[in-house]
Amino acid sequence: MQPPRASTTARPSQPQQEGMALIMVLIFTVLLYAMTSELVTTAQTAKLTGENDVLIARMRSHMRYVLGQTEEALLSDLAAGDQEGAEGAGGLTGGLPGGAGGLPGGAGGVPGGEEQEEPDPASIADGSQDAWFEPMGHPDGDITTYVWVEDENRKFNVLTLVSPDDEFAQESRARFVRLVDLLRDGTDFDVSRADAESLAENLTQWLRGRSRTQDLPRPPLKSDSDERFDISLPLQLDELFLLPNVTEELFYDRVWENQVLLGLESVLTVYTSLVFDPGDPDDPNAGSRPQPAAEGEGGGEGEPEPPTSAGGEEDPQPEGVGIRININTASRPVLRCLFSPAQMPDSVIEAILEWRNEPVEEDPFAAEADVPDDYLGDIQGATQEKRKMFTDVSELEEEIPEFQNIADPNVKEDFLMLVGTESDVFTVHLASMHKRNEDTRTYVLQRSRSVLVRLDEGEEGYLHPVLLHEDRRGLRVMPIDIPEESAMFDATRFADMDAFSEEERAWNPFYIDFYRPDDERQQLFNYRERLR
């Protein structure tokens, strides 16, 4: 019997266990890669977020600094006016529900002071010759903050729709409808007259509190009057968004086919009828620094008595310009809405706009008196060509023949009552920009605004904030008086710029140049080069 043979087949070396180990290694590698990628991504995101937070903080800090510089310019302008001895315009102060006077029937005469021998218009009135008028940039390393000061006195005050003077309230409603109807006339974004009427009706009901509900209650205000408790005054213009007719497209400015289409924010205001709280009548120092009441509040019978000084005399309270519209700065739709074309022809409005854009003849030796002959400077900015300004509304009779030819003397008188030449409420628009790539025009932009009331206390003035550092996201562009001539006008005016200044203007978001297509900007640049 033969012994059993040994198997000739080789025993396998456990291939299943080796495959499982390889799979485990692959799974571990994938998990390690995912964890590492997540860690790297999280770190990069945290780094970018931190850098963005630091950038935003730097931009906000620079905007606060630029606002301080702008406040100094506004106060310097007021100080210059005090040195010239110019008298205030007086006017329609407190033209609000419950207000004592201020509206036609309670207003004084046409403002006017004694004539001075060749006075500086910028020290008497507010307009294009003031240092704060033009948008400008303040560079600081990789950040540039652009600032544009817009006086609220150039706008139509919507609170006049609920004036205690019923006749004036009806006239204001007609003006409001004309304003909205003409705002974007002849464009794809035109507002029909029917829509303007509907907006006026909804706004009036909102101001009278008829459409207020528990969800949108009427806010209690210090200026509430027992006689007119139904009036609900808005704290700022943004409350118009609560109306069904008002959209962002209508509220903010637009740039369309190289035109600046003004929005409601550019032509309406609630701030130019401020009156000032006399404070605690029992405090002998209450009148030394009065605080402004809420926007549009007027003093009625229920208001406390004005504070008195130690001698028993009433302390003087600051008096603002009121609802008078500044004829030096008001845009075309605002001037046009005051009277119908049948009462005041279009030629009068056009003549006013053309006159205030005419250059002022200056002494050619005055500007170079203190500059050495060999001084060239490093940066040659735009030539700040002075344009004409009205220092008193009575100059309309002297300078504008079309105004003289108005047939109805009542229209002329009423127009002079509605306009003025001074401003005391200012919105400071700030836009801080960080350019990431100038070739592709990618950037980071932060917008904010502050609303300031400029008060004159005789020897010195001060600014009181109504809104401070409010973030904004809507488009705002400086209006153009004569759109059909704007490109040529700008090209001629800025033909002597150096490259740096021209680039800064092209990046200024308050000028229409910022929104021009690349090819049109290049054409404008080439035209300026030919002018040089």
pLDDT, position 311: 47
The model's confidence at residue 234, banded by pLDDT at 50, 70 and 90, is: confident
pTM above 0.85, yes or no: no
| Average pLDDT of span 309-334 | 75
pLDDT, position 321: 83
The model's confidence at residue 367, banded by pLDDT at 50, 70 and 90, is: very low
φ and ψ at residue 277, rounded to 5 degrees: -70, 120
- Residue that wins the pLDDT comparison between 307 and 207: 207
User: Above 50 in pLDDT, residue 290?
Assistant: no
- Residue that wins the pLDDT comparison between 521 and 273: 273
Give dist(CA 384, CA 211) in Å, integer: 49
- Residue that wins the pLDDT comparison between 383 and 44: 44
| Average pLDDT of span 451-459 | 83
pLDDT, position 294: 38
Q: Which two tokens stand for residue 240?
A: 């118009």
The model's confidence at residue 118, banded by pLDDT at 50, 70 and 90, is: low
Is 307 in a helix, a strand, or coil?
coil
Polymer length of the chain: 532
Q: Within 13 Å of residue 479, how many CA atoms lie on the same side as its CB?
A: 26
The model's confidence at residue 386, banded by pLDDT at 50, 70 and 90, is: confident
User: Above 80 in pLDDT, residue 361?
Assistant: no
pLDDT, position 120: 80
User: Above 50 in pLDDT, residue 112?
Assistant: no
pLDDT, position 102: 39
pLDDT, position 143: 93
| Average pLDDT of span 21-47 | 86
User: Above 90 in pLDDT, residue 402?
Assistant: yes
- The β-bridge relationship of strands 254-256 and 325-326 is unpaired
| Average pLDDT of span 106-110 | 37
pLDDT tens, residue by residue, 489-505: 555 555 556 666 677 78
Q: Is the distance from CB of 513 to CB of 522 less than 8 angstroms?
A: no
The model's confidence at residue 97, banded by pLDDT at 50, 70 and 90, is: very low
pLDDT, position 519: 64
Alpha helical stretches, state H, 401-498:
401-404, 409-418, 486-493
The full DSSP string for 336-373 is HHTS-TTTS-HHHHHHHHHHTTSBPP--TTTTTTTS-T
Give dist(CA 165, CA 170) in Å, integer: 9
- Residue that wins the pLDDT comparison between 297 and 494: 494
Distances (CA, A) of 452 to 72, 137, 272, 316, 360: 12, 20, 11, 21, 30
| Average pLDDT of span 144-159 | 96
The full DSSP string for 314-332 is BPPPP----S-EETTT--H
% of the chain residues with pLDDT over 70: 70
User: Above 50 in pLDDT, residue 460?
Assistant: yes
User: Above 60 in pLDDT, residue 374?
Assistant: no
Largest CA distance in the chain: 148
* Average pLDDT in the chain: 78
pLDDT, position 314: 53
pLDDT, position 109: 38
Q: Burial-class residue 213 by CB neighbours within 10 Å (0-12, 13-18, 19+).
A: exposed
pLDDT, position 484: 58
